Each structure stands twice: as structure tokens, then as C-alpha cells.
Amino acid sequence: MSSERASGGRTRRRRSHHWYWVAAIPAAFLLWLASLAWLALAATWEAFGFGGATVELSLVALGAPFVFLTAYFPIAVYRDSDYVNRVSGKWAPNPQQYALVAGLGLVMLLVVGVAAIVLGFSPAVPVIAGFVVDVPFAVYYLGRRHETVGTP
């Protein structure tokens, strides 16, 4: 695929939309925090009959989309940093290095997930560990991307 297409005598650059997946990491984190706050509040209301097991199950269910995002995060960072590397003259991120850094969240999620199973931790702990690694890197990457490419 060419990065440029002719359209009516003009050339138009194709844009990368992989940054959407990178931006989904902090967005999912904010949604997860809001859901956590709501579930904590709802658990205090006896009229709803929420118990600790229901809250924990809900937190795991809310963390399931984050597991998918964490798995795709290195691929999205690789593809988007390759795009930024080609079009930006100011910042040239190395796609392989950035993908490896983005992959640390997945490694953390898996390692803490295995530890949670073996040691009997809450299933929400691996999700939290993944957020701790991925969210700061995603925010950093999006900030640098914004400075050089202008999007997001």
C-alpha cells in the first residue's frame, strides 16, 4: 500500500488511525475508575443487595475489555509510531522499541495474573497492574504524538 494516493491531480496522505487504540487505554482506565466508584457506592446500598462477590465479579468483567486492549496495545503503538516516524520531521520514534515498551503492560498483566491465581489474589489485581504500566506510557506517547503530528 502506498502512503499517498492520487485524487483528482492532488496527492493526499493516508493517516494512521492506530492512535485510537492507544488513546483507548487511558479512556478505558477512566471508565474503569468511574465504574469502580459507582460499584463501591452501590455496594454500600443495602437496598440493591450488592455483596462483595458481585462487586468483584463486576470489576473483573469491566477489566476484560482492558485485557484485549493490553494485548493489542503493542501492535497499535508499533503501527502508529511507524507512521509518525515516516511523516514527522521532529520526532522519530523507533517502532520496535516503543512496541516493546508497550508490551510491558501485557507482560505485567500475565505475570500478576498467574501470581493472582497461585496466591489467591483478587482477579482485579492483574488489571490494576496492567493499568499502572500502560496508562502512563499511552499518555506520554499521545502527548509526544500531538506535539509532532498534531493529532489527537
Q: What is the pTM of this model?
A: 0.78
Asked if 71 and 133 count as a contact pair (C-beta separation under 8 A), the reply is no
Instruction: Provide the pLDDT confidence category of residue 82 given band limits of 50, 70 and 90.
Output: very high
Phi, psi of 48 (to 5 degrees): -85, -15
% of the chain at pLDDT higher than 70: 78
Give the lowest-confidence range in 4-13, 14-23, 61-70, 128-137. Answer: 4-13
Rounded-to-integer distance, Cα 141 and Cα 138, Å:
5
Closest CA to 83 of 10, 151, 5, 9: 151
* pLDDT of 143 strictly over 80: yes
pLDDT tens digit sequence for 32-81: 888 777 777 776 765 556 555 666 666 666 777 888 888 999 999 999 99
Domain map (residue ranges) of the chain: 17-147
Residues facing 11 on adjacent strands: 6
Closest CA to 80 of 145, 24, 28: 145
| pLDDT reported for residue 2 | 44
* pLDDT of 6 strictly over 90: no
Rounded-to-integer distance, Cα 31 and Cα 58, Å:
13
* pLDDT of 7 strictly over 50: no
Stronger pLDDT, 47 or 152, i.e. the higher one = 152
Question: Any alpha helices (H) in the chain, and if so which ranges?
Answer: 19-44, 52-87, 95-119, 124-149
pLDDT tens digit sequence for 21-40: 999 999 988 888 887 777 77
